[in-house]
Homo-oligomer: A and B are copies of this chain.
Amino acid sequence: MIPISDLIEQLRSRGARRVALQFPAGLAREAPGTSAALRDAGFEVIVSGDACYGGCDLALDALAYADVLVHFGHAPVEERPDVVYEPVRIDFDLSVLESVVPLLKARRIGLVTTIQHVHLLDGVAAFLREHGVEAVVAAGDGRTPVPGQVLGCNFAAARATGADEILFVGTGVFHPIGIRLSTRARVVALDPFTGQAGVVDADRLVRRRAALMEKARDAANYGIILSSRSGQRRLDLARRLVGLSEKAFLVVMREVSPDALLDLGFEAYVNTACPRLAYDDQVRFPVPVLAPPEFEILCGARSLDDYTIDEYLAP
C-alpha cells in the first residue's frame, strides 16, 4: 500500500477536489486501494488505465477530468502546476558496494543512479570515501532535477561530473551503456540487488547498430516517428530529420509497437520518441528503427566517428 497521508494533506492544501491517479506498471496494482482511500478522504477519483513509461508520459487524458494529476513512481521531467509527482524510494544495503571498490581505477569518480535510489547517494559517497574514493555527484539538466539522477534518455548528471570514470548504481545494462557512449568515460556498473559489478562495454551495441544502419540504407522510405506522449514530443528534431531526406515522412504515434510499424509499411523508421525504444526493442521490430544520430550518419549529416547515443536533453 502506497502511504498517502502526506499526499492527502498536499491535495487539500491545493484545494483539489477531483484527483486523477497515474501509476507505472509495477505500481498499478495499487490503483484500487489508493482510489478507495482517496475517495474515503473526500476526493472524486479517476484512474489513468493506460500503460505508463515514465515521468515523460503524463496522463493528460485523465487530467481533463480532474483538478490535479498525481503521478506515482517518477520524478518530474517537466514541472506543471497541475501535476504532483510522487516518486517511490527503493532502498538497498550499502555493503553491496564492497564488490565494486576493487573495480574502480580512479581515486575520483562520478556517481549516478536512477530516481528510486537517489536518496541513498550520500550514503554511497560516504562508503566510497571510507574506501579511499572520492565520488562526485553533479546536477544534471531540467529533465533530471535531482543531483546524480540519470534517465535512460538523459545522462547529463554523468557528464557534469567531469570525471574520467563513472560508477552507475542500478539495474539493467541500458543506462551504463548510454553513460559510456555519452561521456566516453570508463563506466563501472553495480546492480545493488545482486551485487553484480562490471566494467561496461559499449562496442557490441555500436557494432550491432552499424549493421542495422547498413540494413536501413536502401530503404525506399523512412517514417520519422514523432511521439504524442507529453514529455516525448521532439517536434523540432523530427522536422529536421524529415528535411534530411526526400524519402522521409513524419509519423505521429503514441504506441510504437511492432504491429503498428508493420501495418504502416514504411521500410525503415527513425525514432524521436523515447530513445530507448530504438535500442531496446529493435529485436521485436519487423524493420530497422534508427536513432536520430544514426539517421544523420546515413544521410551524411554526421560522420561515423561521431557516433553517439540518442539523448533527450532539456531545452
CB atoms of B223 and A47 under 8 A apart: yes
With contacts A221-B32, A223-B49 taken as known, whether A25 is within 8 angstroms of B252 at the C-beta atoms is no
CB atoms of A253 and B49 under 8 A apart: yes
Sorting the interface of chain A by its residue count into under 10, 10 to 19, 20 to 34 or 35 or more gives 35 or more
| Cα separation A4 to B121 with both chains bound (whole Å) | 60
| Cα separation A97 to B263 with both chains bound (whole Å) | 33
Q: Quickly give the copy total for this chain.
A: 2
- Stretch touching chain B among A57-65, A195-203, A291-299: A57-65
With contacts A32-B220, A252-B59 taken as known, whether A49 is within 8 angstroms of B264 at the C-beta atoms is yes
| Cα separation A59 to B226 with both chains bound (whole Å) | 13
CB atoms of A49 and B265 under 8 A apart: no
CB atoms of B223 and A50 under 8 A apart: no
Does A259 interact with chain B (Cβ within 8 Å)? yes
**A228, closest chain B residue (CB):** B61
| Cα separation A256 to B255 with both chains bound (whole Å) | 13
List which A197-253 residues lie within 8 A (CB) of chain B.
220-221, 223, 225-226, 228, 235, 249-253
Q: How far is the CB of A45 from chain B (nearest CB, A)?
A: 6
Does A313 interact with chain B (Cβ within 8 Å)? no
CB atoms of B223 and A260 under 8 A apart: no
Does A301 interact with chain B (Cβ within 8 Å)? no
**A31, closest chain B residue (CB):** B264
CB atoms of A252 and B32 under 8 A apart: no
CB atoms of B47 and A249 under 8 A apart: yes
With contacts A61-B228, A228-B61 taken as known, whether A252 is within 8 angstroms of B28 at the C-beta atoms is no
CB atoms of B46 and A266 under 8 A apart: no
CB atoms of B36 and A221 under 8 A apart: yes
Interface centre among A32, A46, A255, A266 (most CB of B within 10 A): A32
**A249, closest chain B residue (CB):** B35
With a cutoff of 8 Å between Cβ atoms, the chain B residues found around residue A263 in the complex are 25, 28-29, 51
Does A183 interact with chain B (Cβ within 8 Å)? no
Question: Chain A 26-38 against B: per-residue CB contact (8 Å), 1 yes, 0 no?
Answer: 0011111001100
Interface residues of A (CB under 8 A from B): 20, 25, 28-32, 35-36, 39, 45-51, 59, 61-62, 65, 220-221, 223, 225-226, 228, 235, 249-257, 259-261, 263-267
A sample of 12 inter-chain contacts (CB < 8 A) reads A25-B263, A28-B264, A29-B264, A30-B265, A31-B264, A32-B221, A46-B252, A47-B251, A47-B264, A51-B263, A59-B252, A255-B255
* Known pairs A45-B250, A61-B254, A62-B252 / 5 extra A-B pairs, C-beta < 8 Å: A28-B263, A31-B265, A46-B251, A47-B249, A49-B253
